[in-house]
Structure 1
Amino acid sequence: MGEEEKARQVMEDISSLISLSHSIKVFNVKWQVIRKKLEELSYGLMAIETSGSSCDFSSILVTVNECYDLARRCVELSYNGKLLMQSDLDVIVAKFDSHVKNISGIYAAGILSSGFAIVVSKPGLGACKEDMRFYVRDLLTRIKIGDTEMKRQALGSLYQAMADDERYVKIVVENSEFLYVLMESLDSSEMEIQEQASKIVFLISGFDLCKGFLVRAGIIGNLIRVLENGSDLGKEDAAKCLQKLTVNADNAWSVSAHGGVTALLKICSNGDSGGELIRPACGVLRNLIGIEEIKRFMVEGGAISTFIELARSKDDIVQINSIEFLQNIASGDESVRETVVGEGGIGVLVHHLDPKSATCSKTREVSLRAIENLCFSSRNSIDVLMDHGFIDRLLLFLCNGEVSVQESALKVTSRLCGASEEAKKSMGDAGFMPELMKLLDAKSHEVRRVATEALSSLVSVSKNRKRFVQDDQNIGFLLQLLDQEEGISGSNRKLLLSILMSLTNCKSGRRKIASSGYLKNIEKLAEAEVCDAKRLVRKLSANRFRGMLSGFWHYKML
């Protein structure tokens, strides 16, 4: 029998033995180890055959036959005592281990001497799945038994294949042996191996249908060990991968159980951590907030102060992620909101609204949204906002911000109007009413609605009413809007009538409404049985009647 025939015979016997081992019901742990050694041996023999190197196939065949006899006896339960069989199985494991090491050495030496001649070429575009699987199996062999450089190159080739053609991703994740090898590579002490494995796992995590394979294989623990001990590049990809995996809240507990929350908080609080790492680390922690016990652990671990500090970062994405984290962790939890305020969170948010700062529009939009959600639940928070000069900055972006920032500023304006009488007076003094008037006929229905609500709230204050009616055009404009029935919803019309009703509480306001050339618009609505319009007409008529009576009694007294 030639060397080629011997090699084929050994591989066939190994395949048969692996199949037989699955039917063994005793010594499960021992046979799992033996199966792993048999698989390693099979990959190694395949590589030897491909490279054309020579090997002592006869010795391997003897060991395989010995193992086959032990397997048969375990299946038939025909062995002479458990201790003796355990000893025999340990001996077989040691023999297979020796064969694997010998083949690894032969394979590595053959590659180095032949200038990497045994590398299987990557199949071309449109290749059949069988060719792709053969290529993947070759890479797996090189990763399993090659030296550091060989493993690094094989992992790099695998990553490139998967990046070029997603069919390779499916081939890999459906191969439990490959996932096991990737997990081992993540735990490698060689940073280059670890980095390449992290890149591959991150790429796989980008496919929703593949995430389950990774989680079931137990890869979360390996990724967290990379966060704790890996290189910067390895940590970045591990954090990105965890961010994708924890979009599913079911995986949050696994991250916590492996110490991931502590590792991530350490990264975020480490001043030496770069933005490329902090960004996904923030993202993972934000995904974990929904679990109450994990949220409490974060708060107790100093997460609030850590993220307030990160919100001061010069990195736009870190700023945004940090602000969103603070907003989410405080949502629905008054004690956490008070902690955010007490530790200086409001000051940081207002700072991002400083027109002199280099803050991007997205950060300003997120800051305004966070202020809306964090700062209007208590008088203390509102006072802190005022003390930081918030009103002037809010007005600035209501007037001049980009569309998204301006809309956020408008929503916050509406919320602030309802916060307190003092806030309304300050906003009236600052000049909010003219800016809100400009938005009453905006194209967006939502913008019109919110601006009308805010103005209605402001003119409920006597001082603001007097200031509002000083501009002769204001009342005429409100009455004109009432005539634009198309595009103005019933709710918006109701708010406009509410503003006019408030203005009748001011003498000059009543006079200007009654003398306006657009008064017919109110009368038309009253005739159409619009209740608020009818109430407004009655109030204006009653005031006119009282005025006539007052004039009559004054004439009688003379």
Structure 2
Amino acid sequence: MNSKMGEEEKPKQQQHQNSTESFTAMKSSLRQAIEVISSLISLSHSIRVFTVKWQLIRKKLEELSSGLMAIENCDSSENTAVFSGLIPSILVTVNECYDLARRCVDLSYSGKLLMQSDLDVLVAKFDRHVKNLSEIYTAGILTQGFAIVVSRPGPGACKDDMRFYIRDLLTRMKIGDIEMKRQALVNLHDVVGEDERYVKLVVEVGDVVNVLVGFLDSPEMEIQEEASKIVSLLSGFDLYKCVLVGAGIIGPLIRVLESGGDVGKEGAARCLQKLTVNSDNAWSVSAHGGVTALLKICSTGDCGGELIGPACGVLRNLVGVEEIKRFMVEEGAISTFIKLARSREETVQINSIEFLQNMASGDESVRQTVVKEGGVRALVRVLDPKSATSSKTREVALRAIENLCFCSQNYINMLMIFGFIDQLYFFLRNGEVSVQELALKVTFRLCGTSDEAKKAMGDAGIMPELVKLLDAKSYEVREMATEALSSLVSLPKNRKRFVQDDRNIGFLLQLLDQEEGMPGNKKLLLSILMSLTSCNSGRRKIASSGYLKNVEKLAEAEVSDAKRLVRKLSTNRFRSMLSGFWHS
């Protein structure tokens, strides 16, 4: 009986040995095919004839290479029989191709028509091989359980290693099961996000971009979301935006916005925002229904700021196309974005305010609609010092107010009613440097609008804040502060208020000695002092100041404004003496 069992074991051992030998032989043929294909791809780049056909052949070779490398990475000998018939056949075709490639490089073929025919036959053979590989993969032979994970190359890896890694990921995305595809996408997102060198390889290697675009329409939500995150990263590189658009990405991105998950929608919106920075792609977005989809996202209250922010950004980019802008107005975009300007999310606030500003720029009818819908009040609320609004948002709101309201006295009056001047005072006094400088610019412009505005600014206490900025480090700040102050003291009421503080005049006279090499600023300071001489108390305080010598020094240096100021003070002093003499 034991003898019988031993006899039964021998065929099994023989079978196992044969299987091992077959697997080893298959692996050897596989490695040989991969190496020849790699060499052939390199050789094809040097071919200068039949270039279109060789481009097509090269694409087929790259597909075959990806598929064969996937087989090589499959840690199972169970399917040796499936692959053993296919690989020798591929190797024969590849060797035929190598022979044709050498003849094309050397121009040693007998005739063009014959070579074209040979190349057509070759393309058909490669098509069959690719189809056969695809059918094997579709049958589920290559699964996550059998696939060896290729390690990500280290930081100092060469380009070939990086390219091999990307090709391996591409293969998994093409032929793996859902989990393998998802993990490949996660790994691709990681390398693209961490190392820009991989971005170029993603665009260069095979069909990576086309596969990613195809995944945007995947019914598997995880696949769609991971793909959307990757294309969002790729769209941040100007060189490759045209590659994405050329791969037909606009339509799938908008379909994700319409029916995808939250993560996918966010990635799609961010990608579209980058692709529409210039208006070249605006019509494509509109043609695929993107404007309607984006407006719906922005008007839906249950969408978070991570999605609404970039959605606002896309619409803001599209405003430059007049027909699209009109459509947005008709769809109620202005009221939607005025509501969004009150959001607590910084990105939403900034993008919505910039959207309104872009919409109204150079368009009086839209500007009127913005004002009518409560846009001015909303912007002033953003500037409320009691709110938790960021400095960046306040800067954007100040610029929007300047652009929207300073073209009309009615709008400026509206600003004053809403307490805007008190806000300017607060930011001049307490704002961060960037906000303070912008508030100063707005104050300067406001001074040139009306006497009512000047009076309101004087009443709000803005002049002392301007005085503090007269010796700022920045020359531009000093100049704006001086010009604004010069404009404000042109009103009698403001002059009287200004001279009530004894330090103001002395400080102005001191500054005359500090503004070396700044004749423009000295001229403005002298202009302010000249205005103050129209006020009796101002005249007296200038004449009695210990710093009057700075004016006299300038007059002696033939500075005309200083000479005029000295003459005016001297004349008034002489008249005072005569008045005292006649009344003694």
TM over 0.5: yes
Secondary structure of the residue aligned to 1:460 is coil
Alignment pair present for 1:409 and 2:439: yes
Q: How do 1:68-107 and structure 2 match up within 5 A?
A: 99-106=132-139
CA contact (8 A) 2:341 2:350 kept: yes
CA contact (8 A) 1:23 1:75 kept: no
- Could you tell me which residue of structure 2 aligns to residue 277 of structure 1? 307
Q: How far is 1:65 from its partner? A: 10
Alignment pair present for 1:160 and 2:190: yes
Question: How big is each residue's C-alpha offset from its partner over 1:511-535, in whole Å with a ceiling of 9 and x where there is no partner?
Answer: 3323333333222212211121122
Find the aligned partners of 2:498 and 2:153 in 1 and give their Cα distance.
76
- Could you tell me which residue of structure 2 aligns to residue 339 of structure 1? 369
* Aligned residue among 115, 118, 141 for 1:109: 141
Q: How far is 1:388 from its partner? A: 1.0
* Aligned residue among 223, 236, 243 for 2:266: 236
Secondary structure of the residue aligned to 1:377 is coil
The total of aligned residue pairs comes to 538
Change (3 A) 1:465 1:180: same
More divergent stretch after superposition (149-158 vs 396-405): 396-405
Q: How far is 1:172 from its partner? A: 1.5
Find the aligned partners of 1:134 and 1:203 in 2 and give their Cα distance.
21
Q: How do 1:121-520 and structure 2 match up within 5 A?
A: 121-486=151-516, 489-520=518-549
* Aligned residue among 515, 521, 530 for 2:550: 521
CA contact (8 A) 1:14 1:64 kept: no
Alignment pair present for 1:540 and 2:569: yes
More divergent stretch after superposition (45-54 vs 392-401): 45-54
Find the aligned partners of 1:169 and 1:508 in 2 and give their Cα distance.
72
Find the aligned partners of 2:73 and 2:540 in 1 and give their Cα distance.
100
Q: How far is 1:94 from its partner? A: 11
Aligned letter for 1:450?
M
Question: How big is each residue's C-alpha offset from its partner over 1:488-524, in whole Å with a ceiling of 9 and x where there is no partner?
Answer: 7211111111111112222332233233333332222
Secondary structure of the residue aligned to 2:470 is coil
Structure 1 length-normalised TM: 0.82
Q: How far is 1:385 from its partner? A: 0.8
Find the aligned partners of 1:8 and 1:465 in 2 and give their Cα distance.
92
Q: How far is 1:452 from its partner? A: 1.4
Change (3 A) 1:149 1:330: same
CA contact (8 A) 1:7 1:57 kept: no
Aligned letter for 1:524?
K
CA contact (8 A) 2:62 2:206 kept: no
- Could you tell me which residue of structure 1 aligns to residue 16 of structure 2? none
Q: How far is 1:186 from its partner? A: 1.6
| Structure 2, unpaired ranges of 5+ | 1-21, 97-111
Question: How big is each residue's C-alpha offset from its partner over 1:315-344, in whole Å with a ceiling of 9 and x where there is no partner?
Answer: 122212222332333333333332222211
Aligned letter for 2:568?
K
CA contact (8 A) 2:542 2:548 kept: yes
Question: How big is each residue's C-alpha offset from its partner over 1:366-413, in whole Å with a ceiling of 9 and x where there is no partner?
Answer: 322322222211111111111112222222222222332222222222
Find the aligned partners of 2:511 and 2:71 in 1 and give their Cα distance.
86
Find the aligned partners of 2:298 and 2:324 in 1 and give their Cα distance.
16
CA contact (8 A) 2:63 2:206 kept: no
Find the aligned partners of 2:549 and 2:65 in 1 and give their Cα distance.
94
Find the aligned partners of 2:379 and 2:217 in 1 and give their Cα distance.
40
Question: How big is each residue's C-alpha offset from its partner over 1:143-163, in whole Å with a ceiling of 9 and x where there is no partner?
Answer: 112222221122222223334
Find the aligned partners of 1:97 and 1:165 in 2 and give their Cα distance.
32
Find the aligned partners of 2:38 and 2:162 in 1 and give their Cα distance.
23
Q: How far is 1:459 from its partner? A: 0.9
Aligned letter for 2:407?
S
Q: How far is 1:58 from its partner? A: 5.0
More divergent stretch after superposition (296-305 vs 191-200): 296-305
CA contact (8 A) 1:459 1:499 kept: yes
Find the aligned partners of 1:255 and 1:437 in 2 and give their Cα distance.
52
CA contact (8 A) 1:202 1:237 kept: yes
Find the aligned partners of 1:425 and 1:313 in 2 and give their Cα distance.
34
Find the aligned partners of 1:357 and 1:436 in 2 and give their Cα distance.
25
Structure 2 length-normalised TM: 0.79
Find the aligned partners of 2:422 and 2:249 in 1 and give their Cα distance.
51
Change (3 A) 1:401 1:127: closer
CA contact (8 A) 1:201 1:241 kept: yes
More divergent stretch after superposition (2-11 vs 44-53): 2-11
Q: How far is 1:60 from its partner? A: 9.4
**Identity %, equivalent residues:** 69
Question: How big is each residue's C-alpha offset from its partner over 1:112-166, in whole Å with a ceiling of 9 and x where there is no partner?
Answer: 5xx3343333334433333332332222122112222221122222223334443
Find the aligned partners of 1:498 and 1:164 in 2 and give their Cα distance.
59
Q: How far is 1:257 from its partner? A: 4.1
Find the aligned partners of 2:166 and 2:38 in 1 and give their Cα distance.
20
Find the aligned partners of 1:204 and 1:250 in 2 and give their Cα distance.
18
Change (3 A) 1:117 1:182: closer
CA contact (8 A) 2:215 2:227 kept: yes
RMSD: 4.1
Secondary structure of the residue aligned to 1:466 is helix
Alignment pair present for 1:47 and 2:77: no
Q: How far is 1:211 from its partner? A: 3.4
Find the aligned partners of 1:305 and 1:329 in 2 and give their Cα distance.
12
More divergent stretch after superposition (535-544 vs 141-150): 535-544
Change (3 A) 1:143 1:542: same
CA contact (8 A) 2:163 2:205 kept: no
Change (3 A) 1:403 1:137: closer
Find the aligned partners of 2:29 and 2:541 in 1 and give their Cα distance.
108
Find the aligned partners of 1:413 and 1:149 in 2 and give their Cα distance.
60
Question: How big is each residue's C-alpha offset from its partner over 1:12-64, in whole Å with a ceiling of 9 and x where there is no partner?
Answer: 899999x89x95999xxxx98x9988875664454335424232665898999
Q: How far is 1:292 from its partner? A: 4.3
Change (3 A) 1:534 1:290: farther
Find the aligned partners of 2:506 and 2:116 in 1 and give their Cα distance.
104
